[in-house]
Amino acid sequence: MFCKPNNYIRPFLIFLFSFVFNFTFINAKEEKASDFSVSELMFHHIKDSHDWHIADIPSGTNPDGTTRYIPIAIHLPWILYSSEKGLDIFFVEGHTEEEQAKSAEQKGYKYHHGEIHETSSGVHVLDLSITKTSLQMLIVALLLIFLFKRAANQYNENPLPKGFASFMEPIMVFVRDEVVKPNLGKHADNFLPYMLSLFFFIWFCNLFGLTPLNSNIAGNISVTAGLAILSFLIINFNGKRDYWEHIFWYPGVPLPVKFIMLPVELVGVFTKPFALTVRLFANISAGHFMVLGLISLIFVFSKGTSISAGLGIAPLSIFFSLFILSLEFLVAIVQAYVFTLLTCVFLGSALEEHHHEEAHH
């Protein structure tokens, strides 16, 4: 009935080693020891970009003796809108920001630290481009649609399906019975589709970020803020009269206290989505930073002393990196659970109805 442990452990270890190999020998290019910067490497990994850089393949040497690399990247379209030029769609060449800025300048735009302006007038341009993070989010969404459509078909063919459907069923039942129903009560069925979508989207985004594809979806604060804003809108648009009454005119307390509670409750309305945003962003980014920092120790020791020192610290760095990555698999689903649970708790408090007259009687 159940697969042997080796059937799970082997692919897991292969996956972890592929991630470390990709970073150590491809992403962390040792062109010159003096050129390696840990902070630059970390922020390059975590920030969004107009191209999807996958890896760098060694290809000979440069005239100065350093290794020459051929970047493997998907160049994404730049979609810009300005009042002067209107809608403008084009591709730029190059992977680094300097190369992209030079290519964008040929198109009549000035690109610097993510800000785009027209070269001639300096007018700010509305950037509607498909970035690396937005493309990866689209891939995850399409993957979820495909997998759950397949699972639904399996249920239609067989009430006791096997494979992916049998794997996902206990997780969906857990979210429904342990997260949604206890907090939303009679309203659970109305919001269950959104909560399941929220849970699996965050979980799959986190898993996608653990692949050796230079991905950091949930580690982008714009993504977590967007998810938190959706929860914020659902909570407040579905809030009952008692929810708003407890914010603007807290019942059952003296009049002077009402004026103290009002700003506190108003601030609480906005701190809830802020907490959702920062919690998910910080936890996912921290895992990526720890792995990047541990692997970077190899090149820091090589830069500070000698190549032998870097090779000496390499086994220890790789061991702890594998340990952190194994924990990240647990963090991926835990953070999806926490985000969904808090959304249900906040929504449940907004949907709750208090009968003050009956309670007083």
The answer on pLDDT for 70 being more than 70 is yes
The answer on pLDDT for 55 being more than 80 is no
Average pLDDT, the chain: 78
| pLDDT 10s digits, 87-111 | 888 887 766 677 777 777 777 778 7
Query: Does residue 158 or residue 290 have the better pLDDT?
Result: 290
The answer on pLDDT for 24 being more than 50 is no
User: Tell me, what's the pLDDT at 114?
Assistant: 63
| One domain for residues 125 and 136 | no
User: Tell me, what's the pLDDT at 341?
Assistant: 95
Rg of the Cα atoms in the chain: 25
| One domain for residues 111 and 165 | no
User: Tell me, what's the pLDDT at 52?
Assistant: 81
| One domain for residues 170 and 218 | yes
Domain boundary (97, 129, 161) is at: 129
User: Tell me, what's the pLDDT at 51?
Assistant: 80
Query: Does residue 258 or residue 191 have the better pLDDT?
Result: 191
Q: Report the range out of 64-68, 118-122, 159-163 with the highest average pLDDT.
A: 159-163
User: Which residues have a Cβ under 8 Å from the Cβ of 175 and sit 6 or more positions away?
Assistant: 195, 196, 199, 337, 340
The answer to whether residue 32 is domain-embedded is no
| One domain for residues 113 and 261 | no
| One domain for residues 110 and 205 | no
The answer to whether residue 146 is domain-embedded is yes
- Over range 186-192, report the average pLDDT: 91
| One domain for residues 212 and 113 | no
The answer to whether residue 182 is domain-embedded is yes
Query: Does residue 235 or residue 243 have the better pLDDT?
Result: 235
Burial of 303 (0-12, 13-18, 19+ CB in 10 A): buried
Query: Does residue 318 or residue 279 have the better pLDDT?
Result: 279
Other C-beta atoms within 10 Å of 352: how many? Answer: 16
User: Tell me, what's the pLDDT at 317?
Assistant: 81
| One domain for residues 141 and 173 | yes
The answer to whether residue 7 is domain-embedded is no
Domain boundary (129, 158, 192) is at: 129
The answer on pLDDT for 132 being more than 70 is yes
The answer to whether 326 and 210 are in contact (CB under 8 A) is no
- Over range 42-67, report the average pLDDT: 74
Domain boundary (92, 108, 129) is at: 129
- Which of 71-80, 270-279, 326-335 has the least mean pLDDT? 71-80
User: Which residues have a Cβ under 8 Å from the Cβ of 345 and sit 6 or more positions away?
Assistant: 183
The answer to whether residue 16 is domain-embedded is no
- Over range 152-165, report the average pLDDT: 79
Q: Which domain does 154 fall in, by range?
A: 132-360
The answer to whether residue 36 is domain-embedded is no
| One domain for residues 193 and 342 | yes
| One domain for residues 287 and 164 | yes
Alpha helices in 83-187 (DSSP H): 97-106, 132-157, 164-174, 181-184
The answer to whether residue 191 is domain-embedded is yes
- Over range 253-265, report the average pLDDT: 78
Query: Does residue 70 or residue 7 have the better pLDDT?
Result: 70
The answer to whether 350 and 235 are in contact (CB under 8 A) is yes
Token pair in block for residue 71: 């970047």
| One domain for residues 117 and 157 | no
Query: Does residue 24 or residue 186 have the better pLDDT?
Result: 186
Q: List b or e across 25-54, with b for residues whose CB sees 16 or more CB atoms inside 10 angstroms.
A: ebbbbbeeeeebebeebbebbbebbbbbbb
The answer on pLDDT for 254 being more than 80 is no
The answer to whether residue 354 is domain-embedded is yes
Cα within 13 Å of Cα(137), Cβ side: 17
pTM for the full predicted model: 0.81
Q: How many domains does the chain have?
A: 2
| One domain for residues 180 and 324 | yes
- Which of 76-80, 156-160, 288-292 has the least mean pLDDT? 156-160
| One domain for residues 336 and 320 | yes
